[in-house]
Amino acid sequence: MKTYQIVCICLIVMASCKTEPKSESTETQEKSDTAMSAQTVSFNPAQMKNVGIEVGTPAEENVSGVLKLQGKIDVPPQSTISLSFPLGGYLRSTKMLPGMHVRKGQVLAELEDMQFIQLQQDYLTAKEKFSLAETEFHRQRDLNTSKASSDKVMQQAKSEMETQRILMSALGQKLEVIGISPAKLRADNISKSVSILSPINGFVSKVNVNVGKYTSPTDMLFELVDPGDIHLALSVFEKDLNALSVGQKVIAYTNSDPDKKFEAEIILISKNLDQDRMAEVHCHFEKYSPTLVPGMFMNGEVSVGNKPALTVPEEAVVRWENKFYVFTENPKGSFEMQEVTTGALHSGRQQISGDSIRPDTRLVVKNAYALLMKIMNTDDEG
């Protein structure tokens, strides 16, 4: 009982002495303030000499700029084919799956229906009637030549022959539309099924049918893509449009595999700007790769003409949390971390630009990472 009382007294004393806990927002703000204050770091001359830090100014040079763009792989309308069938029918078989490559003339599916049989029957019947009408016309023409038959009878025979020719030709065209050759059709090879063939070499992007389903002429059965005309659509800001022209080379790559490069060429520059003041630049790949699929996001780099720019040694620029920085010198001997935008890298010199970067700006040009390490250590200690 005495032990219980002692514990209670201790708890009361601790509660009375405990300071009010900081709220989550207060702690977050303090951390943020610490991080902001850590953007400035100080080194005395002796420390700078020991770690090899040197200060200088950016150099003004004419550099070949690299315009970095983003976009995605696209397919023009003429290279996207939606397959339907002009007559309704039941899907008898198909082995197609999205992503499968197909050859021109390859069977994609088979349909069957009674009307296919009827159409073939009608054609063969019309063919026989035409043959009979043609024979009758020739007989009446010979009789008319010898005046054994009147002109009227001959004209009627000719009209009947032409009528049957028209009917046979029309039915033959219908057969060709569904993939049946009229020239090869005979009474002993009438089929209840027809094959749907691929009109291109490409790959299947969509499959909208299954075995046993009845399809109507308005149903899209498959969607095919011709990769021969697959292209890259990049978005470019209005201010950069004048730096681009048809025929320029583009180096494209994906975020997942930036080391694998794809060469492309600008074939069209749109003059229409969207609400973000951006236009589309269409590029054609020099060589098709099966890894390039419609809708894939890609980055593009375009080399633009020489232009004046500020450059610093490559080791003057540090990367932290996916952003680039330099350290500018303050009058009191400290260095402030300034975010910059990087451009072309050539012969060990990095193009930079920023609101506070001018030709006379004094900044660290050697071993800038030593300052970054000190900032990171300061954050860890905080």
pLDDT above 70 as % of the chain:
88
Reduce the DSSP state of residue 152 to 3 states and report it. helix
d(CA 350, CA 52): 20
Report whether pLDDT(381) > 90: no
Report whether pLDDT(12) > 60: no
Instruction: Choose which CATH entry (3.30.420.40, 2.40.420.20, 3.40.50.720, 1.10.3720.10) describes domain 38-65+307-381.
Output: 2.40.420.20
Q: Among residues 302, 215, 306, which one has the least CA distance to residue 264?
A: 302
The answer to whether 73 and 230 have CB atoms below 8 angstroms apart is yes
CATH code of domain 87-112+192-226: 2.40.50.100
Q: Among residues 368, 75, 41, which one has the least CA distance to residue 231?
A: 75
Third-level CATH fold of 67-78+227-306: Elongation Factor Tu (Ef-tu); domain 3 (2.40.30)
Average pLDDT over residues 225-244: 87
pLDDT band with cut points at 50, 70 and 90 for residue 43: confident
Among 140-144, 195-199, 267-271, 335-339, the least confident range: 140-144
Instruction: Choose which CATH entry (3.30.70, 3.90.550, 3.40.50, 1.10.287) describes domain 114-189.
Output: 1.10.287
The encoded tokens of residue 109 equal: 């599916």
What tens digit of pLDDT does each residue of 119-136 get? Answer: 999 999 999 999 999 999
The predicted model scores a pTM of 0.57
pLDDT band with cut points at 50, 70 and 90 for residue 97: very high
What tens digit of pLDDT does each residue of 272-309 get? Answer: 888 888 999 999 999 888 888 888 999 999 987 777 88
Give the pLDDT of residue 103.
95
What tens digit of pLDDT does each residue of 71-94 get? Answer: 999 988 888 999 999 999 999 999
Extents of the domains making up the chain: 38-65+307-381, 67-78+227-306, 87-112+192-226, 114-189
Question: Cα torsion at 123, 124, 130, 135 (round to 10°)?
Answer: 170
What tens digit of pLDDT does each residue of 346-359 get? Answer: 778 888 988 889 99
pLDDT band with cut points at 50, 70 and 90 for residue 34: very low
Report whether pLDDT(31) > 70: no
- Angle value at C-alpha 265, between 263 and 268, nearest 5 degrees: 150
The answer to whether 263 and 301 have CB atoms below 8 angstroms apart is no
Give the pLDDT of residue 8.
38
Give the pLDDT of residue 382.
53
